[in-house]
Structure 1
Amino acid sequence: MNQVRIGIVGMGNMGWGHAKYLTEGKVKGAVLTAVSDLFESKRRQAKETFGEGLATFESAEELFASGLVDAVLVATPHYDHPECAILAFRHGLHVLVEKPAGVYTKQVRLMNEAAAASGKVFSIMYNQRTNPIYMKLRDLIASGELGEIRRTNWIITNWYRSQSYYNSGGWRATWAGEGGGVLINQDPHQLDLWQWTIGMMPTRVRAFCHFGKYRDIEVEDDVTAYVEYANGATGVFVTTTGEAPGTNRFEVTGDRGKIVIEDGKLTFWRLRVSEPEFNATYTGGFGQPECWKCDIPIHGTSPEHMGITQNFVDAILNGAPLIAPGEEGIKGLTLSNAMHLSTWTDNWVDLPIDEELYYELLQERIRASTFKKPEASGDKVLSVGGTFNS
């Protein structure tokens, strides 16, 4: 194989964006051959925009069985990512799934198992992993420059969304339509980067989610979470869609200093000797380790979505290592599920979470949701071909 034929499932905002750069030839070794969407208007628009040679299908299963694609890019509503991916694996296709991996870890675990059994390439659209600033942070931590992690703190409150935004679609910010709020819609990249850059997951979580605090919505729009790690380190994650102006500041402290990412800059306050060494040898009463402020140069630009898609294609054609293996999508989702579960039970949540309890409590909220999910003819879910985010 010297070219990968790609099909896109779901022609909403994200699916449309992926189709655009694929048809413009911006991913070497890839060609867009087919798309699927439940809505005829979307299929017609795709042909008009990307050419009559593009095959269109009403359902994902029809696309998968067509023989026209080697790989699929899943850009359906959140709930449907795992089911659609599992169906694609059963048809022997490689899969690149949009973030988040799903809504609850129970379904994502099944997707991961299907991927492993298929032997196909499986990736997730964590495009922020291609951002040089987060790549540099990960490198500094992995190389030992920061020493042992002691504290993480991410304030990500620049997700401002008005009531008008939420009113633009009845599925938005509902348990039945999206499966969550700021954690599942806006924050998947940060939740992934939080654990990916430092190289470890928490052991337990205590969170306080506020549902409809600033807007007339069902789901969380304000969250403060505290986590603990196996080595004794702690972390805080603060996020909301209701503040203006917002902040995006990621701070990681180790025993050799502190790194802060803010306003597109990475600053390393580096200790000349580690804090434990200074503490063990210093005898002068008041004092602290000598500290150097280092503005770390960041080289290159982020290829974003195209970069992940190119890597996915390279993995299929040449066996290139994946930047964002699909199986890792469950990690960030575990964090958001744990934050919900901690709030719902008003208690600490140990990781791995109780997946059955989370599923049960989520179903209660789905049944009470104001949004009633439309049914595809004969299908139990909208997922295999549909879009909400038109």
Structure 2
Amino acid sequence: MTEVRYGIIGIGNMGAGHARSLIEGKIKGAKLTAVCDGMPAKRDWAREQLAGVAVYENAEQMLESGLVDAVIVATPHYDHPQEAIRAFAKGVHVLIEKPAGVYAKQVREMNEAASVAAKEGLKFGIVYNQRTNPLYRKLRDLIAAGELGEIRRTNWIITNWYRSQAYYDSGSWRATWSGEGGGVLINQCPHQLDLWQWTIGMMPTRIRAFCHFGKHRSIEVEDDVTAYAEYENGATGVFITTTGEAPGTNRFEVAGTRGKIVIENDEMTFWRLREPEPDFNARNTESFATPECWKVDIPIHGTSSGHPGIIQNFADAILHGTPLIAPGEEGIHGLSISNAMHLSTWTDGWVDLPFDEALHEAELNKRIEASSVRKAETAGKPADLTGTY
């Protein structure tokens, strides 16, 4: 194969953006050959805007056409796993939009299908475009190299996701359990939840979360969250997010035995201790002494390649065996954290990870049944309901 023929399942906001990147030649070694969408207006748009691209009503038709080697799944959240599994069964590479799904059980089933498909050489990726951001890549590199020593604490305040009531009122499916499967955690924060564990190289062992549902807006899902996490090595973490605060903050702080790194306002600041804090403490005899600390300038090279960068990397993985920046199987990590936060709130207690996925699904189903958008109404929802942030 010398060129990857991409198909897109769902041409709403994100799907249309990916289509433009491919049509405009931003992805080397790849071309857009087909798209599908259940909404007639979206298919009409595709015929007008995507010259030479085949347009189908559903994924089955597109996969049967033989026109695609890989698909980008940009459907509603609940449909990501089933569309991926369907594509794998047809021998097609799969790149899914975030989140991997709504609940861990369905994502685990998708990962199992991907494992089988991998034996046939099929690739599986997820559009975690923030992994291309050089700030977070550098943070991951510094931590992996031991520059921060042992991680002791993380703190992410991500409150710059402001959304007005008009935003939520723009679609009856928005911010509903049956339409999106959650609120700020499932729609706005999947990137941060992924980066939280990806950069430090650790998943929490247990979580206690306080999700407030419809606190600032007339919605049924969470719009304000404060969560506390504990890790196997004794480290702790705090994750705070909301869509109802202005002006918002995006500050990620990681402290270790050799200092502290803060990422805020697209800048990294590294306060490096001259010696590890435990070593200083062991030898120190002065009551109010503190370790010597240097503010270190960290060179950050490159720019974030965003969505096109992930699509390019996926094409390169298919054509040349290039390692994936965001393997699809890793989508379950950030989702498991958000699932645990929901479950902790619903059960009013600590949740150990791995958690009881059957219990989470049962609790979620209770809320889907009571949702303002019924399941029967959302089962065939058009694919432009996703990726709207």
TM score, norm. by length of structure 1: 0.97
Secondary structure at the counterpart of residue 138 of structure 2: helix
- 1:345-384 matches, cutoff 5 A: 345-373=347-375, 381-382=379-380
Residue equivalent to 1:215: 217
Of 290, 293, 308, which residue of structure 2 is paired with 1:291?
Answer: 293
What are the Cα deviations for residues 5-47 of structure 1, in whole angstroms up to 9, with x where unaligned?
0000001000000000100010001100000001111111111
Q: Cα gap change, 1:214/1:344 in structure 2, threshold over 3 Å: closer, same or farther?
A: same
Structure 2 CA distance for aligned equivalents of residues 375 and 6 of structure 1 = 30
Structure 1 CA distance for aligned equivalents of residues 169 and 298 of structure 2 = 42
- Residue 104 (1) aligns with residue 109 (2): no
Residue equivalent to 1:387: 384
Residue equivalent to 2:53: 54
Out of 151-160 and 295-304, give the one that drifted further: 295-304
Deviation at 1:285, TM superposition (A): 2.6
Q: Which runs of 5+ in 2 are unaligned?
A: none
Secondary structure at the counterpart of residue 383 of structure 2: coil
Secondary structure at the counterpart of residue 101 of structure 1: coil
Secondary structure at the counterpart of residue 162 of structure 2: coil
Residues 162 and 243 of structure 2 are in contact (CA less than 8 Å); yes or no, is this contact kept in structure 1?
Answer: yes
Residue equivalent to 1:95: 94
Residue equivalent to 2:269: 267
Secondary structure at the counterpart of residue 387 of structure 1: helix
What are the Cα deviations for residues 156-211 of structure 1, in whole angstroms up to 9, with x where unaligned?
00000000000000000000000000000000000000000000000000000000
Secondary structure at the counterpart of residue 268 of structure 1: strand
Deviation at 1:65, TM superposition (A): 1.2
Residues 95 and 121 of structure 1 are in contact (CA less than 8 Å); yes or no, is this contact kept in structure 2?
Answer: yes
Give RMSD over aligned pairs. Answer: 1.2
Residue equivalent to 2:280: 278
Aligned residues: 384
Identity across the alignment (%): 71
Residues 5 and 32 of structure 2 are in contact (CA less than 8 Å); yes or no, is this contact kept in structure 1?
Answer: yes
The residue type equivalent to 2:383 in the other structure is G
What are the Cα deviations for residues 284-335 of structure 1, in whole angstroms up to 9, with x where unaligned?
2320110011232212110000010000000000111000000000000000
Structure 1 CA distance for aligned equivalents of residues 286 and 230 of structure 2 = 33
Residue equivalent to 2:345: 343
Out of 142-151 and 57-66, give the one that drifted further: 57-66
Q: Which runs of 5+ in 1 are unaligned?
A: none
Deviation at 1:55, TM superposition (A): 0.6
Structure 2 CA distance for aligned equivalents of residues 79 and 134 of structure 1 = 28
Residue equivalent to 2:316: 314
Structure 2 CA distance for aligned equivalents of residues 2 and 354 of structure 1 = 45
What are the Cα deviations for residues 46-77 of structure 1, in whole angstroms up to 9, with x where unaligned?
111011x2111111111111100000000000
Residues 38 and 387 of structure 1 are in contact (CA less than 8 Å); yes or no, is this contact kept in structure 2?
Answer: no
What are the Cα deviations for residues 242-296 of structure 1, in whole angstroms up to 9, with x where unaligned?
0000100000000000000001110000000000110111122320110011232
What are the Cα deviations for residues 103-129 of structure 1, in whole angstroms up to 9, with x where unaligned?
000000000000010121000000000
The residue type equivalent to 1:298 in the other structure is I
Q: Cα gap change, 1:107/1:311 in structure 2, threshold over 3 Å: closer, same or farther?
A: same
Residue equivalent to 1:124: 126
- 1:189-268 matches, cutoff 5 A: 189-268=191-270
Secondary structure at the counterpart of residue 139 of structure 2: helix
The residue type equivalent to 1:332 in the other structure is G
Structure 1 CA distance for aligned equivalents of residues 377 and 246 of structure 2 = 38
Residues 80 and 382 of structure 1 are in contact (CA less than 8 Å); yes or no, is this contact kept in structure 2?
Answer: no
Q: Cα gap change, 1:325/1:263 in structure 2, threshold over 3 Å: closer, same or farther?
A: same
What are the Cα deviations for residues 66-100 of structure 1, in whole angstroms up to 9, with x where unaligned?
10000000000000000000000000000000000
The residue type equivalent to 2:180 in the other structure is E
Residues 271 and 290 of structure 1 are in contact (CA less than 8 Å); yes or no, is this contact kept in structure 2?
Answer: yes
TM score, norm. by length of structure 2: 0.97
Structure 2 CA distance for aligned equivalents of residues 297 and 26 of structure 1 = 27
